[in-house]
Chains A and B, each alone.
Chain A
C-alpha cells in the first residue's frame, strides 16, 4: 500500500512538474505571440560575439518567439555611422544598436537609449523569468546611469591581454640562446624593459634564422584610429598615464601645464617605448588595425604581443584560421613600477577592458519586441556556448559552465585571468567626447608615427589640440 501511495505521489509530482514546466518554457512563445510578424533590425560591429548573435541567437530567438531578427554586422566605423545617423535623424531603422563601452557616455548624454531596467519594471509582462540584471558581471556597470538603471545588455567583454608563444618560450634552444644573450630566463615579461629585450631577441632570432618571425605585434596603422587607441588605452596606462591624460576634475586639462598628463614625462616615455616596438614588429604593423594584429599573431609572425581578448579563442583553438593552436600563453601586460599598486587601489588600471552591449534606441518602432530579444541574449542559459564560440563573458555564472572551464584550459587560463584580474583593467574614460578628441589629435599622432614630428613635440601638440577641441566643444571653460 505504501509502495502504491509512493508511486501515486510520484506520478502526481511528475504530472504537476510537466504541467508547470511548459508554462515557464513557453514564456518566449507566449510573449512573442503579440509581436509575431515583427522584424527587428540590429546593427553591430563584425566581431566573433556579434557574429554569434547573428548566426545562432537570432535564429534561435525567432524559433522561440516567431519574431524575426535581422542583424547587420559591419565595420566599426560603418556601424557607428549607421547607428548615430539613425538615432540622430530619428528614422527608427534600428531596434538594437551595438554600444561599445566608450560611446555609452555620449549616447546617455544625448538620451539616445531606452532605460531597460525601468521599461521592464513598467511592464512586468515583458520580463523573462530567466533574465536577471544581477547576473551580469561588474562590466554591466559601464552601461548604467547614476541611478543604477541599465541601458544596454552586455554582450561582449574582454581584456586586451599579453599573448605569447609557448612553443617558442619553451623551446630549449631558444631558451638557451636567450639566457646566453641576456643572462636571464625566457619567461613572459613583467616590465617594459623585459618585454623590449624579448622582442629584440626574437626579431633578431627570426632574422638570423631566416624565419618570418618578429618579437612583438604593434597596432600601429598610420591612418586609422586603431594606433591611437593602442597607445592611449593599452600602452600609456602601463606607464601610469590614465584616462588618455585628460583630467576632467581640472577643467578637462590635457597638458601638464594645466594639470593634465597627455604630454607628461611618463607619456613621452611610453610613446618612445612603443615606437621602438613598432620598429621591430612585423612590416605590416604600420598598416595594422586591431584585426590585423590578431591575424599577425595567428599567422605565427610574432612571438608576443598585446591582442584583444575577443580574438584569443580563435587564435588559440581554431586550426582553420590559426597556425599557433595550442601554443598560446596569456599573461598580464608589462608594467612600470607603481602601476599595479595604482590599479589595486582603484586609482589606475593596467590595460584595456573592452566590450559592448546591445542597446535599444528610443527611436525604435518595436521597443517591446526588442526588449524581449535583449533579455534573450542576456539569459544565463545562452552564455556558455556563446563564450566558447567567442571568448567573452558577461554573466558571472558563465565562469562555472563546464564548457567554459574546458575552453579555459585550451586558452591557458584566459577566462580565469578575466575573472580574477579583470578588475585591474578598465574601459575607456567616462567622457562623452571620445571621437571628437581622438579626431582632433590623431592627425598629429600619425605625424609622430611617420617621423614628421618628434614624439615629445607631437605629444605637446596633441595636448594643446585636445584642450582646444574641448574648449570648442564647450567642456573646457
Chain B
C-alpha cells in the first residue's frame, strides 16, 4: 500500500504535465469541434452545431485530396528513409577511413530546425536563382520550376524530408545493429546461409522492434509535417503539397475557422491512430499469432 503511494507520488508530475499539456487541450479541441466558431464571422462567438463540422468533412474535396497527398508523401518518405537509413547503418557498422567524420556530417541535418530546412531548400530550388535548377539545366537541360510542376514539387518535399530525417533512422537502426549478439550470425554462417538469407532470417527479425518504433515515429511525423513544406512550397503548386498539417493550419490560422479546424484535427488524429494500429497488426500481431507456442 505504501509503495503504491510512493509510486503515484513519483508519477504525479508526469501525470500533471500530461494532463495540462495533453489531455486538457485535447478535450478542449474536442469541445470546439462540435461548434461553429469563427471570430471574424458576423457572430464571433461559439455556436453549438452538433456533428455538422464532421459531416462537412466527408464532402470536403480539399480535405480528401489533402489526405491522399499526405498518405502518398508519408509512404514515399518513410519507406525511403527506412531503406536508406538501414543501408547507412550497415555502412557505419564497417570500418573505413573517415567513418567518424562522415557519421557526424550525416547527423547534422537533425540539429537543423525544420523551418530553416525549408528555407534552405527554397533558396536552393527557386527557379532562376537556386543551385538545383541551375545544375539540372546545365547538366541535363531540365527546367525545374516548382511553381509550375506539381510532380516535382511533391518529389522535392519528399527528398527534403528524406534528407532531414534519414539520419534519425540511421542512428536508431545503428543502435539496434550494434546491440545484436554475434552468435546467431556465426551460427547462420556455419549453416551455410548466404547474405540475403542472413538478412531476411536473422538480422531483420532481430531488429524488427527497432524498425517498427522508427516507422511509427516517422509515420506520425510525416502525417503532421507543416513547417518545412510551408516554407518550401506553401502547399503549392495548387494543392499538390497541401498536406494535412498545412491544410489544418490554413483552416485554423488564416481562415480562423476554429470549429471546423478542430474537427479536422480530431479526424486526422483518429486516422493516424488507425494507421498505426493497422501497421502494428500487420507487422507484429499476426506474426506473433503465427509463432508456434
Contacts and interface: CB of A to CB of B under 8 A. Distances in A.
B238 A446 contact: yes
Interface in B214-243: 233-239, 241-242
Interface string B229-262: 0000111111101100000001101111100000
Nearest to B235: A223
Contacts of A292: 126
Given A287-B126, A473-B41, 18 more contacts: A80-B254, A81-B253, A110-B44, A222-B238, A223-B242, A224-B234, A225-B254, A283-B127, A284-B126, A284-B127, A439-B254, A443-B239, A447-B238, A449-B238, A450-B237, A452-B238, A473-B38, A473-B40
A446 B236 contact: yes
Interface in B130-166: 143, 145-148, 150
Given A223-B236, A473-B42, A450 B255 contact: no
Contact of B145 (A80, A106, A283, A438): A283
Contact of B239 (A432, A433, A446, A473): A446
B62 interface: yes
A449 B233 CA distance: 15
Interface in A298-340: 301
A248 interface: no
Contact of B257 (A80, A109, A224, A436): A436
Nearest to B260: A472
Contact of B147 (A84, A221, A452): A221
A88 interface: yes
A289 to B, nearest CB: 8
B237 A449 contact: yes
A359 interface: no
A80 B237 CA distance: 23
B142 to A, nearest CB: 13
A53 to B, nearest CB: 24
A223 B39 contact: no
Interface in A233-289: 282-288
Interface in B33-56: 38-44
Nearest to A433: B40
- Counting from the closest, the 10 A-B pairs by CB-CB distance are A223-B236, A286-B147, A474-B42, A222-B237, A287-B147, A223-B234, A473-B41, A439-B255, A222-B236, A224-B234
A285 B39 CA distance: 34
Contacts of A109: 40, 44
Nearest to B44: A110
A226 B234 CA distance: 11
Interface residues on B, range: 20 to 34
Interface residues of A, number: 41
B237 A286 contact: yes
B116 interface: no
A128 B82 CA distance: 64
B90 interface: no
Contacts of B242: 223, 443
B189 interface: no
Contact of A450 (B44, B62, B148): B148
B254 A221 contact: no
B255 A110 contact: no
A452 B239 CA distance: 11
Contacts of A473: 38, 40-42
Nearest to B42: A474
A461 to B, nearest CB: 12
A223 B40 contact: no
A443 B62 contact: yes
Interface string A420-461: 000000000000110110111001001101101000000000
B238 A450 contact: yes
Contact of B127 (A77, A88, A106, A286): A286
B128 interface: yes
Nearest to A473: B41
Interface in B246-286: 250-251, 253-257
Contacts of B62: 443
| Residue in B62, B146, B256 whose Cβ sees the most chain A Cβ within 10 Å | B256
B129 interface: yes
